[in-house]
Amino acid sequence: MPWTYDPTNIFARILRGEIPNKTVMETPHTLVFHDIRHLAPVHVLVIPKGAYVSLDHFAAEASGDEIVDFHRTLAKVCAMLDLSGPEGFRGITNAGHHGMQEVPHYHLHILGGRVLGRLVEPA
């Protein structure tokens, strides 16, 4: 498998309690917290507690319980933050070099509270 997890990454350190975070919701398998650099009025990160590098790693190797818990928690957070209505939100995940992933622990950005620009600028 192509994924090598680096346990020194910043989100692993948050999960171990070595670095503080502003928690929005926590379950046995999932943590949701505010991004330190808000890019929108709402900007939270949904992360699995397991050691997964990226979305494809999580999708390939996480257990059913982890995958269900991640997405149910995401839905609860969207409802809690008033993102589930017609105004909506954007979910983004970056992977690897081309995706410009900064932190190599799978995370889904949830952005909302304003009209966001286009998804990707043309090359």
**Beta partners for 111?**
43, 90
Q: CB neighbours of 53 closer than 8 A, spacing ≥ 6?
A: 3, 4, 5, 95, 104, 105, 106
* Smallest gap from residue 30 Cβ to ligand 5GP (A): 15
Catalytic residue among 38, 98, 107, 109, which?
Answer: 107
Question: DSSP per residue over 72-110, as a string?
Answer: HHHHHHHHHTT-SSTT--EEE---TTTTT-SSSS--EEE
Q: Which two tokens stand for residue 59?
A: 């999708």
- Among this protein's residues, is 43 annotated catalytic? no
Strands (E) in 6-59, as ranges, are 23-26, 30-34, 42-48
* Smallest gap from residue 4 Cβ to ligand 5GP (A): 16
Whichever of 14 and 62 has its CB closer to ligand 5GP, that residue is 14
Whichever of 68 and 92 has its CB closer to ligand 5GP, that residue is 92
* Smallest gap from residue 23 Cβ to ligand 5GP (A): 10
Q: Which two tokens stand for residue 85?
A: 């209505």
Residues that bind ligand 5GP (CB under 6 A): 10, 19, 21, 33-37, 94, 100-103
Whichever of 46 and 83 has its CB closer to ligand 5GP, that residue is 46
Query: Annotated catalytic sites, by residue?
Result: 107
